[in-house]
Amino acid sequence: MFNIIVITPEIDHLLEAKIFSALVSDYNCTIHIRKPHFGIDEYKKYLLNNNKLISHFVLHEHHSLAKEFPVKGIHLKEKDRNQVTDYPTDIKIISTSLHIVEDANELKYPFEYIFYSPLFESISKQQYGFNKTYEALTETVLELKKRTSIPIIGLGGINEKNIAMVKKSGFDGVALLGAIWQSKDPLKAFEEIAAKIK
């Protein structure tokens, strides 16, 4: 099954909670909470305000909150993963990030999936990434899958024009950020992207 994951905008969107509610109820979406500017109290408040959806949340920061809240689990950023000596046993680690194919050789934890980025020029980060061809995407997936059996989620610049190519190239899913939150209607943008892979 090809998964579509949504990553939160760094700065809160006015309709964020309403959009998440629709994504969870209509698509059973996993939501990655990425709020690097939030202190732990802001993060707690955010989780409390979205408590009905919390089992779909994967935390990118303040991992200790996964012991207090029934979230799906945590995401280890590349730098966090490289600093871990012992993986916690009381918190479910869901995912991590890779930016270099060869780094897949170093993965020691059985993550549920891996984010690999960027696939295309980023929508949310200026001058980050470049647009890969179908052949380049296919080669990237093959090289990753030689190194790990963990499902690979593509990230970076994915939109309604290229999602079908990402799926066809062999990725196991995508994570969306800029294509959703930089559109005038984030829910409609998600629906248009999802429709391209039905």
User: Tokens 């799926």 label which residue?
Assistant: 167
Handedness of CA 97, 121, 187, 18 (dihedral sign): positive
* Counted domains in the chain: 1
Q: Write out pLDDT tens, residues 95-140.
A: 999 999 999 998 888 899 999 999 987 555 555 455 678 899 999 9
Whole-prediction pTM:
0.92
Q: Write out pLDDT tens, residues 137-153.
A: 999 999 999 999 999 99
**Could you tell me which residues are beta bridge partners of residue 75?**
95
Q: What is the extent of the structural domain holding 120?
A: 3-195
Instruction: Tell me the CATH number at 191.
Output: 3.20.20.70
- Per DSSP (E only), the strands in 41-186 are 57-59, 73-76, 93-98, 113-116, 152-155, 173-176
User: Tokens 């698509």 label which residue?
Assistant: 27
